[in-house]
Amino acid sequence: MKILHVVGARPNFMKVAPVIRALETLHATNVLVHTGQHYDRALSQTFLDELGLPTPDVHLEVGSGSHAEQTARIMERIEPVLVEQQPDLTVVVGDVNSTIAASLVSAKLLLPVAHVEAGLRSFDRSMPEEINRVVTDRLSTLLFTTSPEAEENLVHEGIERARIHFVGNPMIDSLTNHLDQARGSSILETLRLPDRGYALVTLHRPSNVDDAATLGGILKALADLATDLPVLFPAHPRTVKMMRAHGLDELIGDAGPVRCVEPIGYIDFLRLMDRAQIVLTDSGGIQEETTILGTPCLTLRQNTERPITIEMGTNKLIGSDPGVLVREARAVLAAPRPEPQRPPLWDGHAGERIADAIVSWGGD
């Protein structure tokens, strides 16, 4: 079988690496297409190297833009690749623009699609990612779910159970495979951070960074929290752009109350999550990773497509109100560290189950 894998944003790399590795052991041919949706080539290469992924066979170099511009460029540039390669299956992961663009083009070329991380729902159509998830699932032949409620979401939407495979979470495969290496990282010493004595922050969702009042309130709340413990903020390029556009970048800096640093590679960031006293984020994947690590996580959103991280994990939704942020963070700092729990099938073998299902499907 020839399997074409599409990645575009850094979290995609962690999800696709275990699948590619498992398919190689089953003698499938893998073709890796990097759309360049996250356009920092140096950091993308760092992730590829750290995860043991091959150099992409194709790099579309689409770069940044509005959702429509970016999705359209990916569709335009991936179509000739799919026509030339004629894969038996296109594998897409997650919920980014690369996911929906590759799914649409594949479906129109009558090429089957498999969606890794299918069925996740925030039930909030104001999130672009929710639209990407729903449409991709409608177009997919194989749907691989990470948690039990995802299958129920899909069935409720009319998708046959025979197409749905509960396989676990491949992002946790990558975490499990690289945790020992991460624990040997010297990033805490490099950044002069006290072990289990700092807060780690990520922000990138439009609902948090596009509005000046919302972003300013969050940053001021983080500065307040920084009077209790160091706050490290590896800033997404889009977030930095918005801070500058809103005139808010003076609130942070390497020597400021909130330490703003460049984005950090996978191994070092895994170490930072593992040894943080608290993580504050609006990311989806970080909610999952902190669940396994047992690191308290406050999610700056009103909803989550990953409710299992609240039911079984260390995650709590708090929204973006500055007062709530500071109050909830201080409550976490005053409480004992929770015991980590593993949701069903988050055991480090999701990639193998996905590969087995793909090969079995291909042999039908």
**Which residues are registered as beta bridge partners of 145?**
166
**Which residues are registered as beta bridge partners of 231?**
199, 258
Strand stretches in 155-249, DSSP E: 164-166, 199-201, 231-234
Question: Going edge to edge, which strands form the sheet with 113-116?
Answer: 58-59, 29-34, 2-7, 89-93, 113-116, 142-145, 164-166
The DSSP code for 65 is -
Return d(Cα 347, Cα 344) in angstroms, integer. Answer: 8
Give 357: exposed, middle or buried? Use CB within 10 Å, 0-12, 13-18, 19+.
middle
Pairing assessment for the beta strands 278-281 and 258-261 based on DSSP bridges: unpaired
Return d(Cα 344, Cα 146) in angstroms, integer. Answer: 9
Pairing assessment for the beta strands 199-201 and 278-281 based on DSSP bridges: parallel
Return d(Cα 123, Cα 119) in angstroms, integer. Answer: 11
Q: Are 95 and 68 a contacting pair, CB within 8 Å?
A: no
Catalytically active residues are 204
